[in-house]
Structure 1
Amino acid sequence: MIGRRVTYRTADGVRIPGTWRHIFIRNGRYFLTDLLIYADGLVDCWGLITVEEFEEKVRSGWVATTLPDGAGASAHAMATWKFGEPRNRLTPELLVAEVRDAIDRLNRRPDSIGRCMAAVSAFLADRTEENRAAARAAFLAIPASRRRRALGDMDSKDWPLRTLVAGPGGRTYLPQDPPVSQESYDRALAYFEERARRLAEHDAGIPTDGPATPHTPTVHLFPLCPDEPVADPGPVALRDDYPAPVTIGGIPYPSVTHAYWALSVTRPEVHDAIAAADTAATARGLAAAAARREGWEHLRTAVMTSLLRAKYDQHPRLAEILLATDDAILVYDDVNSAYWGENAGSGRNWSGRLLELVRSELHTRRAGIPGL
């Protein structure tokens, strides 16, 4: 079953989220491998293919759902073995349904469970047999491997669901279940009424520490920056290489980038040449030709934090631009550094994260919290 595993791939500079599960490929013998499923509807099982092409590979048996007794199997570079009395839990239809559900979830669309719960809500609001039949059909459309987790209740599992959609006197999809009694049906109704009450309380509640996600759209700080200050720079002024002079220890630097690279070296003449460079790109180039200060990788984050604080303390107008980003995630692109830049998902985005820290400190100052 596909769980909460997370992966991604990058296509044309865009990060495409994905998930994965184990499967067997039948290529002569059976090979244990990873099936990668992506939000754009592509599936990777020894090559990127569409869902329709994947479905054909499943139906042909190349993606195996039946593992014969005595068949040879292999996990690359790990082990080889033969199946002994295998118990097969998948069918082609079940595997394809799981993959389609995963694509829906990656796109934040209702999957088969979401569609079922919407149908159940419609039935509870208007308890006609027509609505019950629709809810039952939606429940049975959930892959069998996921039904017992549909309610997210590992104590009751799917008992309330299968009882509700069967109705009094009806039979559930499990052959061992007896016909639904009126008492069992009433208990299922009570379960959903209590569940609705808890969900309403949860939805109405405000997290004690505030929202977990920002309400302001993400701000991307792309690597395009003027060499001279402009009258109304907007978010580009938040870039480290924007020409906003900062004074550190009595020494003026043309930008945060100039100061950062100048402080990364120990030789005074190299420091001075970097500080006097005509552009931030030139400053970086001069620093690249010199040796870094010993242990620079342990110092650089604190140095950059101090420089950003200085920039926004010394340039109140730029501080207003930073504050105007509200609670947005700041995504900083840096073609030269996967440490400072987010770089389409391949970097750590430390410049963006530190800007968010300094922004929070500016808000704290405005709030007048004593002692901070």
Structure 2
Amino acid sequence: MKEVKVGQVLQLFEQFAPQKYALEGDPIGLQVGSYQKRVKNIMIALDVLENVVEEAIEKKVDLIIAHHPMIFRPVKKIQTDQAQGRIIEKLLKHDISVYAAHTNLDVAKGGVNDMLAQALQLEKTAVLIPTYEQKLRKLAVYVPVEHEKQVRTALGEVGAGAIGDYSHCSFSTEGTGRFQPGEGTNPHIGQHGKLESVQEVRIETVYPVEMEKKLITSMLKAHPYEEPAYDLYDLALKGEELGLGRIGELKEEMSLRDFALFTKEVLDSPGVRIVGDLDEKVKKVAVLGGDGNKYFSKAKFKGADVYVTGDFYYHTAHDAMNMGLNIVDPGHNIEKIMKKGVTELLKKECENSQFEITIFPSEEDTNPFIFL
């Protein structure tokens, strides 16, 4: 069995949600443990509370990937008769590493906010609060004519050539490639010490810099040559805008009352708070996981009929009401949707990398609120 370390798993995860996506000051990353630790069992959690750590101990977990950072502010002392100290003590005693993916997972394409938008069945979605613009690069690789399709397909399958709603975009030009295999080489075409000419295709495709490692790995795997020739170029072309929250449309408008009940059901919330006229029709929806108080005016500015977010304040609710924006607050805990989402995503990535690892979501409830 191939030994896999924490660092290798996190490297895969960060191709999806790089740390540079995080908002300034967000304490993300490895918070407890070592990148060198061997890992067999991974648990995905929303919060790292004591009941979650007990679950991890029972299930022989090596690594917890959590959405909310366990250590949000600097720890000045560790007292093992206090909750945080007990948690840290148990993690260290049982050699469990903890990694936090917070706002980087919120911002990532396919991350928490996209998961919420998908659960709400929103269409024509866009970023609500832009925070990051992807940098684009171009790959140009030279391939024998008979292997062109094989390499182009491999590049497209990992996401290269995605432009707007189009995928697998590339351009090819034919020419002659020349090389002379040296001693100790194992050429796919040609002989040692003899100059060889081959009809080749130059394949060009654009990709976000975040996927470069994955892209190159896929290209090398599909390419028949021992030492493929390829170039990488920085582009002035602007990449996709990423950020917090999403805004989109319901397939059909519904009353605020029906939408609130729908939200409660699909986001598995024990209750919702509502601001607005329950009989008013809504169609355009903004959603932002966690505490979205700061961004309600952005939702209104972008034309939202209703804003779905958590932890809404009393006076902020007055402000939203006065500007005619409906609010549905199903609580902060709806971000638990990431447990299943990240589990599925990381499983797929680990399988592609042939990592023999068990990945599963935490089953513990970390919602501090009880609804009567």
Normalised by the length of structure 2, the TM-score is: 0.21
- Structure number with the bigger relative contact order (C-alpha 8 A, sep ≥ 6) is 2
Higher strand share: 2
TM-score w.r.t. structure 1 length?
A: 0.21
Larger helix share, 1 or 2:
1
Task: Specify the structure having the higher radius of gyration (Cα).
Answer: 1
